[in-house]
Amino acid sequence: MNTVINPALVAEHNAGERARLDADYDALAGMLQRRGVDIEALTAQAQRFALAIPSWGVGTGGTRFARFPGPGEPRNVMEKLEDCAVIHQLARVMPTVSLHFPWDAGDPAALRQAAEGYGLGFDLVNSNTFQDQAGQAHSYKFGSLTSHSAAVREQAVQHNIDCIALGRALGSKGLTVWVGDGANFPGQHNLRGALERYLDSARLIYQALPDDWLMYIEHKLFEPAFYATTIADWGTSYACATALGPKAKCLVDLGHHAPNTNIEMIVARLAQFGKLGGFHFNDSKYGDDDLDAGSIDPFQLFLVFNELADAAQRDGAAFRPAYMLDQSHNVTDPIESLMSSAVEVQRAYVQAALVDRAALRHHQERNDALQAAQTLKHAYRTDVGPILTMARVRAGAAADPVACYRAAAYREQQRRARPPRAGASGSGIV
Ligand SMILES: [Mn+2]
């Protein structure tokens, strides 16, 4: 496997952390043993957990006001894969990359070869009908899949079908569709008519799906449409996924809800009815902020994983949602943010695995609200850090991914190797 960071440097870093890690891990093992929990089972579970890297996340995202690029940013999809390889090597929790077309267009055979060289695979592919591309025949200014113009709808449908073909060549198994379609004024759209056109278009995409593929419908409350977004909420997403058929599922982006929405309940509902397709993890304070996962409300992230653990227990191996990050890094090094965010998601997963489900059920059945809540808090308050670190070290990754990454001076090397190109613009945010 091609390693971007010198493995000797990682080994040296880990050797320096070893004594502290062993002491912390043994102390946690003893504490968990007194609770009847086998730390080794949890560590093995942590090692199996995986989520996908969004290709657009390795560059500085920017806001709708400005983008302040960082040094050494990847300038093409091959350089993005190189950054993803660093993330995979040091954190070992993101073994796949989710590409976005046409941003990441390239020769599929070459992309596959580069990714395999790094030990990376390809996750879901994403279509883009929320902005116009150079040379495009028709504009998406007034919508794509919902456009009043048959030619525009046809172009948007064909783009999604092209994404499926590219994804097949890459070994992907699913297409995520998010459209910015909607209205800025009351009366601008016939609300029902827009959704009817969306479904007519989406059916054509659905029909092009290979048998072993899924189509993931991502909803978003508002922006870029500020009055009425066509696929605004999980109810609309669920209705569309149901209308389309069993290969269509709902994708939950944590930032795409109204403030204070009970997202874990949405997760429970979608799981109950077999329509929970996957996640875009991030965090937010006000809207679709695309902040780092777990940076604002780590308890909410834990509660989402608590529902996922419940669903996994009920539904077994059939329950396999797709996990990926979807963040916009504006003030941090994107590689550092992606690694630490992935670890935060993995942390929530392990904390949720620690919940004593028998005790929780017992308290629920006796209407003991206080003890039920305490049962969740008990798991949430447990510092599972040593488990995550041990999982990384055993997989050959870095005990402290950010510290090791900084010691490797990768960004400084790339600052010299990748001078910015005049007029180059970064990928957007979805
Ligand atoms: Mn998203």
Please determine, for residue 54, whether its predicted confidence score (pLDDT) is greater than 90: yes
CA of 105 to the centre of ligand 1 (A): 19
pLDDT tens by residue, 352-399: 999 999 999 999 999 999 999 999 999 999 999 999 999 999 999 999
pLDDT tens by residue, 129-159: 999 999 999 999 999 999 999 999 999 999 9
CA of 361 to the centre of ligand 1 (A): 33
CA of 253 to the centre of ligand 1 (A): 5
Q: In the prediction, which pLDDT does 423 show?
A: 56
Residue 9 corresponds to which amino acid? L
Query: Region 89-105: what's the mean pLDDT?
Result: 97
C-alpha closest to that of 319 among 351, 279, 347: 279
Q: In the prediction, which pLDDT does 420 show?
A: 85
236 is written with which tokens? 């609309």
CA of 326 to the centre of ligand 1 (A): 5
Q: In the prediction, which pLDDT does 338 show?
A: 98
CA of 263 to the centre of ligand 1 (A): 15
Q: In the prediction, which pLDDT does 429 show?
A: 47
Helices 334-353, 369-381: axis angle to 10 degrees equals: 140
331 is written with which tokens? 């003030």
Within 8 A by CB and 6+ apart from 132, the residues are 139, 140, 141
CA of 53 to the centre of ligand 1 (A): 12
pLDDT tens by residue, 231-254: 999 999 999 999 999 999 999 999
Q: What dihedral angle (degrees, nearest 10) is formed by the CA atoms of 81, 84, 85, 89?
A: 180
Largest CA distance in the chain: 66
- Model confidence band, residue 422 (pLDDT cutoffs 50, 70, 90): low
CA of 101 to the centre of ligand 1 (A): 14
In this prediction the pTM is: 0.97
For residue 253, the cross-strand partners are 280
Q: In the prediction, which pLDDT does 421 show?
A: 76
CA of 402 to the centre of ligand 1 (A): 25
CA of 430 to the centre of ligand 1 (A): 5
CA of 412 to the centre of ligand 1 (A): 30
CA of 129 to the centre of ligand 1 (A): 14
CA of 218 to the centre of ligand 1 (A): 7
Query: Region 112-118: what's the mean pLDDT?
Result: 98
Please determine, for residue 426, whether its predicted confidence score (pLDDT) is greater than 80: no
CA of 54 to the centre of ligand 1 (A): 10
CA of 125 to the centre of ligand 1 (A): 12
Q: In the prediction, which pLDDT does 241 show?
A: 99
Long-range contacts of the stretch 351-355 (C-beta < 8 A, 24+)? 351/302, 351/305, 351/379, 351/380, 351/382, 351/384, 352/302, 352/305, 352/306, 352/308, 352/309, 352/379, 353/42, 353/45, 353/309, 354/32, 354/37, 354/42, 354/379, 354/382, 354/384, 355/306, 355/309, 355/379
Q: In the prediction, which pLDDT does 355 show?
A: 98
CA of 214 to the centre of ligand 1 (A): 17
Q: In the prediction, which pLDDT does 198 show?
A: 98
- Model confidence band, residue 29 (pLDDT cutoffs 50, 70, 90): very high
Q: Comparing 58-62, 189-193, 277-281, which segment has the lowest mean pLDDT?
A: 58-62
Taking the CA atoms of 291, 294, 298 and 300 in sequence, report the sign of the dihedral they define: positive
CA of 61 to the centre of ligand 1 (A): 13
CA of 289 to the centre of ligand 1 (A): 11
pLDDT tens by residue, 205-226: 999 999 999 999 999 999 999 9
